[in-house]
Amino acid sequence: ARKRALIIQQLYAEGVMDLNKEIDLPLLVQRIAVISSPGAAGYTDFCNQLHGNAFGFVFYHRLFAAVMQGTETEASIINALEAVYEHKELFDVVVIIRGGGATSDLSWFDNYNIAYHCTQFPLPILSGIGHDKDVSVVDMVAHTSLKTPTAVAQFLVDCMQQTESNLHTVKEEIINYTEQALESWQQRLQLVTLQLPNAVKRKVEQAYYTLTSSIQHLQHRSKQNLTQKAYTLDKHQQYVQLVSPIRIFEKGYTLTLKNGKPIHNQILAKGDVVETISLQKRMKSTIIEIENGK
């Protein structure tokens, strides 16, 4: 008992006692490395409980044979752990089990080297090597300690059942969320469908009002422009009429031309023939005398 206490004290002092417990169990624990004696009744119980589970879960296990009692126990179990380590990527957990035998045989698992190797192992270790009232040092450092090989197998089945239950819960949550999302979108779609005709009607009415207003504005501006243009044209016509030669002729004035051009810009001489135009007559005259004036 003193040796066992010293081993436990040393493991605590080194800070490794709970290292394996800190490793998370995988969600699916189906690939199992088993360290046990192939002829042990406990190994047979483990296999029967594991592969005969009522849920039909499929497990893969591989036996790494080891001596589970006597002076060869330490070296044999450490060798088995090292063999598992070489293929650690193939396994989810390591199971160390024994069954039957005297209670005194448990003392072989109060071993520092075996316990230390367990604390350093990268995979969770499940132990099933004790009895109802006995706990070995290996049990203490293992990730999970159970009393019997059958209990270890049932623990693995329970882990799978819990994962299946969690997945079922997640599945139901996804289904419920999806149904709620679909229902919400259907309601929104129905609302849009109901609102769409009114929205389209409002858009059409707004566009019609805008178009009508634009047409009315264009008509008004066009009418204003035409009125303004007509007024301007009338003024031009009045001006043209005022400055028209006919209007001048009507007042009794005449126009005198030499060679078809007004005489005021030409040099005149006696004997030149000029043409005088009045409202109703065209007359030709010969210049007899020229007097200059202002």
Query: Is the pLDDT confidence value at 52 over 60?
Result: yes
User: DSSP readout, 218-248?
Assistant: HHHHHHHHHHHHHHHHHHHHHHHHHH-HHHH
Domain ranges of the chain: 1-165, 254-287
- Among residues 3, 111, 58, which one has the least CA distance to residue 96? 111
Is the whole-model pTM more than 0.75? Answer: no
- pLDDT-based confidence at 290, cuts 50/70/90? confident
- List, for residues 136-151, the tens digit of each pLDDT value: 999 999 999 999 999 9
Rounded CA gap, 57 and 63, in Å? 19
- List, for residues 233-270, the tens digit of each pLDDT value: 888 777 767 766 777 777 777 878 778 788 777 888 88
pLDDT value of position 132: 60
Rounded CA gap, 284 and 259, in Å? 11
User: DSSP readout, 178-216?
Assistant: HHHHHHHHHHHHHHHHHHHHHHHHHHHHHHHHHHHHHHH
Q: What is 1-165's CATH topology?
A: Rossmann fold (3.40.50)
pLDDT value of position 66: 95
The most confident of the ranges 35-39, 245-249, 286-290 is 35-39
- pLDDT (mean) for 44-60: 95
- Among residues 95, 87, 104, which one has the least CA distance to residue 45? 95
- List, for residues 154-182, the tens digit of each pLDDT value: 999 999 999 999 999 999 999 999 999 99
Structure tokens at 110: 């109060």
pLDDT value of position 265: 76
The most confident of the ranges 42-51, 104-113, 214-223 is 42-51
